[in-house]
Amino acid sequence: MTTTVSPALRPTEQVYAGHPEKKVTLYFLVTGLVLLLIGVAIGPLQALNYAGIDVYRYLPFLKSYYQGLSLHGVLNALVFTTYFISGLLLYLPCRALKVRPNLLVAWGAYWTMTAGVLMAAAALLTNNATLLYTFYPPLQGSPLFYIGAALLVVGSLIIGVQVIVIWTQWKRQHPGEITPLVAFMSVATWMMWLIASLGLVVEVVFLLIPWSLGWVKGVDPLLARTLFWYTGHPIVYFWVMPAYISWYALLPGQAGGKIASETMARLSFVLFLLLSTPVGLHHQFADTGISMSWKVIQMLLTFLVVIPSLLTAFSVGASLEIAARLRGGGGWVGWIRHLPWKDPVFTAQVLAMVSFIPGGAGGIVNASIALDSEVHNTAWIPGHFHITVGTATTLTFFAVSFWLLPHLTRKPLASVKGALWASWLWFWGMIIFAIGMHWEGLIGIPRRTYLATATGLGDMLARAQIPMALTGISGMVLMVASIFYFSVIFRTLLGRQRVAESAEVPIPVSESLEQFEAREAGLSAAGMKVAGAVRLMERLWIFFALALALVVLMYLPMLIGMVLNTHLLPGQRLW
Ligand code: HAS
Ligand code: HEM
Ligand code: CU
């Protein structure tokens, strides 16, 4: 679909001329990264707090530890991810389907999101929304925060609906054709998010906004928490599925190999669509007012939703082995050395995957009701999610930015070495962080605690000296990693050199083993035999409907019970 570029265009416009959606994608990515920079800057201060070192009294711009923590959680986990994913999962499927998105809609989504973030940021920065990123009532913040959060989600849904509509039209125009893998996975992710975001939308629009505006007197905290976690669990798959798209569909090619099994990749996304949402109760095992039966049912469903991740581990692992053997590697583990470790795009992703092995294992511990009672609300939990969203997702997005920003801008990556340093330091920083925080958690140190000034913890602090030191050190390592990362990114973006269109970094879509074998057998893409399972999975709308039905079954009876038995509380401001 590339068009010839008119010589009258200015150089920046020329870069976007063939594919004007590049510009809106770039805006999504860069805005997300700039906001991540602010969120990440607070992280090391928190790590020092978990080492017992108080730096907050020297920081006049933060009114409290909790204002900083609210900014950190909201900007990193909610805002950065949503921008980055909206850009990536708009661009990749549209390019895969060779369809140009409606730019007015895409820019509309960008500005809706940005208006929302500005409103929420105004509330957070003026200390009027120190609610942490879970904003549990009866803590009550400025309406600006809740309206802003709603607009952020609405912006992402506009992109999601657009991608789904584009795919539906593509299906109509290409009867009988199989959706390209990247597009299939993107559509499944957006369908999942469409169902998953409902809880948050209902909570914010019907409970929190009217309450913060003073239109209603109270909110039921249990109902609000249940709606929050209805979205709060699947949002973690909204964060990790785009990373999986990169691991499944782009990484094998980047490593010089093939996708081990396209069918498996599609299957794991169908399973995510079906099972991501009806498991939110595993965040509420400790909440009273919810029957144990529901908790046990959702615990079992949580174990089921681990399966697509296990499929991913083996399938992507196999793709890497194929790549290494194609590059001349051999032996049981000796092949690992033959992978392209000098390429930061590859290395950052594989390190992200390695961090996800203990991250996922910790998740399985959390999911078990009996074990969760030991770790719930302790430092163990931030330990868990910094090697999931903080590394598996974030480090993969770093890897994506190392090729996608050069692709979109035609500016070469400023420093390959700097990018490699950033990736290794982030990985080791987060591994040390996770060891420190999991260990502190096992000793019983609570999360969300201004530890440096806390009292009443008995001899816990004395017993936690080693993990606390590890946590403090990890914060410093991560600070250096961030400096490397953001300097590479901003030097790339501000660089003046642009390569010619012919030298543009390509979109690294990989070939699958199935396609490769068909090609070897002399079959064309159209003549290739498609597995029945793949044809069945093309009917994503059926799986969407099934997922919706499962969610209704798992949540509606419980929610009706809660609505019929509300205990309304007025808002409180504790800061
Ligand atoms: Fe979690 C709490 C359970 C995955 C994020 N989780 C959280 C919170 C966050 C979070 C943010 O059941 C805190 C919320 C709060 O503030 O209170 N989590 C799970 C389970 C999984 C899981 C069962 N979590 C994630 C992901 C996240 C995330 C993904 C973000 C992206 N989590 C829980 C529970 C709680 C919880 C409870 C509540 C705890 C409490 O008490 O509050 C599973 O989905 C995990 C499955 C993953 C695997 C790993 C597969 C490994 C792969 C890599 C393979 C590597 C290869 C590399 C091949 C089974 C795919 C090879 C390398 C070579 C060199 C060759
Ligand atoms: C919380 C450190 C990067 C998401 C925390 C906490 C620490 C920390 C120590 C626990 C605070 C507490 O419970 O009181 C760091 C460091 C980072 C970093 C040193 C790197 C420089 C990230 C990234 C993400 C993230 C990249 C997500 C993309 C979160 C979230 C919380 C948190 C969601 C929970 C906030 C809450 O409890 O309300 N971080 N973090 N962090 N972090 Fe990070
Ligand atoms: Cu969860």
Q: For this structure, is 282 an active site residue?
A: no
Is the pLDDT reported for residue 7 higher than 60? no
Which residue lies with its CA nearest to atom 34 of ligand 2? 73
Q: What is the pLDDT of residue 222?
A: 98
Retrieve residue 49's tokens: 């707090």
Q: Which of 283, 376, 386, 438 is catalytic?
A: 386
3-class state of residue 219 by DSSP: strand
Residue 522: predicted pLDDT: 79
**Ligand 1: residue whose CA is nearest its atom 40:** 376
524 alpha carbon – ligand 2 mean position (Å): 49
- Ligand 1 contacts CB of residue 360 (under 6 A): yes
Indicate whether residue 283 lines ligand 1 (CB < 6 A). Answer: yes
Strand partners, 569: 219
Torsion of CA 276, 282, 288, 289, to 10 degrees: 20
Specify the amino acid at residue 507: I
| Cβ of 46 less than 6 Å from ligand 2 | yes
Closest CA to 50 of 429, 382, 395, 389: 382
- Determine the Cα angle at 245 with ends 273 and 316, to 5°: 105
Phi, psi of 446 (to 5 degrees): -75, 155
Active site residue 447: yes
Distance CA 519, CA 516 (A): 5
CB of 460 sitting under 6 A from ligand 1: no
Q: Give the number of the atom of ligand 2 that is nearest the alpha carbon of residue 393.
A: 28
Q: pLDDT category, 174, cuts 50, 70, 90?
A: very high
**pLDDT for res 88:** 98
Helix residue ranges, H only, 444-510 = 460-463, 465-494
Answer whether residue 512 shows pLDDT above 70: yes
Average pLDDT, stretch 539-543? 98
> Atom 2 of ligand 2 has which residue's CA nearest to it?
43
Q: b/e map of 207-223 (b: 16 or more CB within 10 Å)?
A: bbbebbeeeeeebbbbb
> For residue 308, is the peptide bond before it cis, meaning its omega torsion is within 30 degrees of 0?
no
Judge if the beta carbon of residue 388 lies within 6 A of ligand 2: no
- Tell me the per-residue pLDDT of 267-299, one tens digit each, with 9 for 90 and over: 999 999 999 999 999 999 999 999 999 999 999
Exactly one of 95, 233, 376, 410 is catalytic; name it. 233
Residue 27 to residue 556: CA distance in whole angstroms: 39
pTM (2 d.p.): 0.97
Cβ–ligand 2 contact at 305 (below 6 Å): no
pLDDT higher than threshold 70 for residue 444: yes
Whether residue 354 has its Cβ less than 6 Å from ligand 1? yes
Rounded-to-integer distance, Cα 76 and Cα 482, Å: 13
Determine the distance separating the centroid of ligand 2 and the alpha carbon of 450, expressed in angstroms.
14
Q: In the numeric block, which tokens belong to residue 109?
A: 């989504």
Q: How high is the pLDDT of residue 476?
A: 98
For 291-294, the CB contacts below 8 A with 24+ separation are 291/558, 294/554, 294/558
* Position with higher pLDDT, 407 vs 500: 407
Q: Is 384 a known active-site residue? A: yes
237 an active-site residue? yes
Residue 28 is a catalytic residue: no
- Residues 315-365: tens digit of each pLDDT: 999 999 999 999 999 999 999 999 999 999 999 999 999 999 999 999 999
Closest ligand to C-alpha of residue 239 is 1
Is residue 526 pLDDT above 80, yes or no?
no
Quote the pLDDT of residue 525: 65
| pLDDT average, residue stretch 421-448 | 98
The model's confidence at residue 3, banded by pLDDT at 50, 70 and 90, is: very low
In the chain, count of helices (H) and strands (E)? 25, 0
* Catalytic residue flag (residue 386): yes
| d(CA 388, ligand 1 centre) in Å | 5
**Taking 80 as the threshold, does the pLDDT of residue 10 lie above it?**
no
pLDDT attached to residue 117: 98
User: Is 27 one of the catalytic residues?
Assistant: no
